[in-house]
């Protein structure tokens, strides 16, 4: 690789790293990076920076590869911070760049400059810097790639002054990503001894299982050991098929309920999840948690756990090694299959449960589902079981709205052979509706199903349980999502009955479409 400008050296480096698809929203400080855009690079335009980051997040998660994002100075990064926070919680390998004003103007805090740019996105990036000299930019980006892709993965930020791109730079070799550390053999041996001696073991699976591509191995391990398998609270990935006989259900994000759900087991092995994530507090648990082993590649996740033996290392490697060593559980009773829910009422009105059942019946189980409909999470669990063993379900680990609609577009761009269904609440959709424009522009195979109950129902329901009364700001209503989609060039239908929904789903489609599904606004308890 020959020396050249920072721009030339950086583009050569990005080619070596496979970072030729860039998600962005440009401004004047990005022009020097974008000028003379190469034919072998792809620029995915988003119309607002938080949407840009959400799309890139879905893209990286669907491909299990890092992604490059280009934002506009401090204002653009500021718009994006909610989605950066989500990418941090999603452990998304993302390199975020933003343009900075030219170096000669920085002492005067010029228009569009970022004061202390490296500090702005902290603490929700793994690393953040503005290179000291222009020649350091390629090396900074190479370092950002290594940090973002090293477990635990996450976003990294680099601020680049606009005049750096035309300065000279030396070539920087690309280095392969660092693999996750192997778990300590002694700790795994202790886990296996406990598992062999347990009478009623349970596994709790979290996002890192699917992130590591370890779902098939974990299924085999659960079958062999006859362990019941629970999903960790508010998990952002599907790490165990929900139609499997070993599947036990979803743990609640509340101490008392969670401890009661695990009380029947004498050993719990937590794979790739925090132990545990809580959302509401109703006091200390009445049941003592069983003996715990926690397998994770993030030392902070292990340190935060209140109890249990931590096993630090790659989840996939740990699953494989435990499967080699653990004895079969033929003498244990098989886990009791989770009972199916009753068929939802036919209506009218069309309930969210019935709508989700119709969506499940009309959707190929091997396709990708991206969900951001927090008011309907229980109905989703009951009536839309996720059965994919390969990255077939994505949602937000942060709880910050605006992820789903953009991530669905990014996931569809990433793997167009796997069409995407976006299950969205009406409130969540409005945090990033601009993503529909990008879906049209990119001809992304995504179906947006907006479940419209005319309110921020999760806020209303949890607020009521927490003692709130006559809350303002929770009623929506009157938004015509089909008209909004058509204004952005996306085909759309308005749905008020189960029959209309079934008919719409049966219609062939190749690009994006939106289904505005009006559902019963009456609330259902969350947890």
Q: Give 277-308 as a DSSP string.
A: --S---SS-SS---EEEEEES-HHHHHH-SSS
In whole angstroms, what is the distance from residue 454 CA to residue 479 CA? 8
pLDDT at 285 > cutoff 80: no
In whole angstroms, what is the distance from residue 219 CA to residue 231 CA? 13
At residue 179 the predicted structure's pLDDT band, cuts being 50, 70 and 90, is: confident
pLDDT at 455 > cutoff 70: no
At residue 291 the predicted structure's pLDDT band, cuts being 50, 70 and 90, is: very high
Omega prior to 152 cis, within 30 of 0 = yes
At 456 the pLDDT is 60
At residue 107 the predicted structure's pLDDT band, cuts being 50, 70 and 90, is: confident
CATH number of this structure's domain 4-169: 3.40.50.970
Q: Where does CATH 3.40.50.1220 sit in the chain?
A: 185-325
Mean pLDDT, range 252-275, rounded to an integer: 93
At residue 393 the predicted structure's pLDDT band, cuts being 50, 70 and 90, is: very high
**Are residues 180 and 297 in contact, defined by beta-carbon separation less than 8 angstroms?**
yes
Q: What mean pLDDT, rounded, does the chain reach?
A: 92
pLDDT at 136 > cutoff 80: yes
* 503: Cβ contacts below 8 Å, ≥ 6 apart: none
Name the nearest CA neighbour of 88 among 428, 438, 400, 433.
400
Q: Residues 203-243: pLDDT tens digits?
A: 999 999 999 999 999 999 999 999 999 999 999 999 999 99
At residue 406 the predicted structure's pLDDT band, cuts being 50, 70 and 90, is: very high
At residue 527 the predicted structure's pLDDT band, cuts being 50, 70 and 90, is: low
Q: Residues 424-450: pLDDT tens digits?
A: 999 999 999 999 999 999 999 999 999
At residue 197 the predicted structure's pLDDT band, cuts being 50, 70 and 90, is: very high
Name the nearest CA neighbour of 98 among 84, 114, 116.
114
pLDDT at 201 > cutoff 90: yes
At 423 the pLDDT is 97
CATH of 352-518, one of 3.40.50.970, 3.30.565.10, 3.30.70.380, 3.40.190.10: 3.40.50.970
At 214 the pLDDT is 96
At residue 457 the predicted structure's pLDDT band, cuts being 50, 70 and 90, is: low
pLDDT at 468 > cutoff 70: no
Mean pLDDT, range 123-137, rounded to an integer: 96
Three-state SS at 309: strand
Omega prior to 348 cis, within 30 of 0 = yes
Report how far apart the first and last C-alpha atoms of the chain are (Å, whole number): 58
- What tokens appear for 509 in the block? 């489609």
Q: Where does CATH 3.40.50.970 sit in the chain?
A: 4-169, 352-518
Three-state SS at 508: coil
Q: Could you tell me which residue, 218 or 456, shows the higher pLDDT?
A: 218
If you classify domain 185-325 with CATH, what class do you get? Answer: alpha beta
User: Is the model's pTM score more than 0.85?
Assistant: yes
């Amino acid at each position: 690789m020959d020396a050249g400008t920072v721009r030339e050296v950086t583009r050569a480096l990005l080619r070596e790293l496979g970072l030729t698809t860039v998600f962005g929203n440009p401004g004047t400080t990005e022009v020097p990076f974008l000028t003379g855009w190469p034919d072998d690079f792809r620029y995915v335009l988003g119309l607002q920076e938080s949407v840009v980051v959400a799309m890139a997040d879905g893209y990286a998660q669907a491909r299990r590869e890092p992604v490059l994002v280009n934002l506009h100075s401090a204002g653009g990064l500021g718009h994006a911070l909610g989605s950066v926070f989500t990418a941090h919680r999603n452990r998304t390998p993302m390199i975020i760049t933003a343009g900075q004003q030219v170096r000669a103007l920085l002492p005067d805090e010029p228009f569009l400059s970022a004061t202390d740019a490296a500090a702005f996105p902290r603490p929700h990036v793994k690393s953040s810097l503005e290179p000291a000299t222009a020649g350091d930019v390629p090396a900074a980006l190479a370092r950002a790639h290594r940090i973002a892709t090293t477990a635990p993965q996450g976003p990294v930020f680099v601020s680049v002054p606009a005049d750096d791109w035309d300065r000279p730079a030396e070539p920087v070799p690309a280095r392969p990503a660092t693999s996750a550390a192997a778990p300590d053999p002694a700790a795994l041996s202790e886990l296996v001894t406990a598992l062999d001696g347990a009478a009623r073991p349970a596994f709790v699976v979290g996002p890192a299982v699917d992130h590591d591509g370890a779902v098939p191995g974990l299924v085999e391990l659960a079958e062999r050991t006859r362990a019941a398998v629970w999903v960790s609270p508010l998990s952002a990935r599907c790490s165990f098929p929900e139609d499997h006989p070993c599947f036990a259900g979803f743990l609640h994000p509340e101490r008392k309920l969670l401890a009661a759900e695990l009380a029947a087991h004498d050993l719990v092995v937590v794979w790739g999840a925090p132990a545990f994530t809580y959302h509401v507090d109703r006091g200390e648990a009445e049941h003592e948690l069983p003996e715990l082993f926690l397998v994770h590649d993030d030392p902070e996740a292990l340190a935060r756990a209140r109890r249990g033996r931590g096993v630090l290392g790659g989840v996939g490697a740990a699953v494989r090694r435990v499967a080699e060593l653990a004895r079969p559980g033929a003498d244990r009773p098989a886990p009791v299959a989770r009972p199916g829910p009753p068929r939802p009422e036919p209506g009218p009105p069309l309930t969210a449960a019935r709508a989700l059942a119709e969506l499940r019946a009309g959707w190929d189980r091997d396709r990708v589902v991206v969900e951001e409909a927090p008011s309907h999470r229980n109905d989703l669990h009951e009536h839309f079981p996720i059965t994919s063993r390969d990255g077939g379900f994505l949602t937000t680990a942060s709880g910050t709205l605006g992820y789903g609609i953009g991530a669905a577009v990014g996931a569809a761009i990433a793997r167009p052979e796997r069409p995407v269904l976006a299950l969205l609440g009406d409130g969540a959709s409005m945090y990033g509706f601009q993503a529909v424009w990008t879906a049209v522009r990119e001809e992304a195979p995504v179906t947006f199903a907006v479940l419209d109950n005319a309110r921020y129902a999760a806020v209303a329901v949890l607020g009521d349980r927490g003692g709130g009364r006559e809350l303002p700001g929770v009623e929506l209503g009157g938004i015509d999502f089909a008209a909004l989609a058509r204004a952005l060039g996306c085909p759309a239908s308005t749905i008020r009955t189960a029959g209309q929904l079934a008919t719409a789903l049966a219609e062939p489609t190749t690009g994006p479409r939106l289904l505005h599904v009006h559902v019963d606004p009456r609330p259902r308890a969350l947890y």
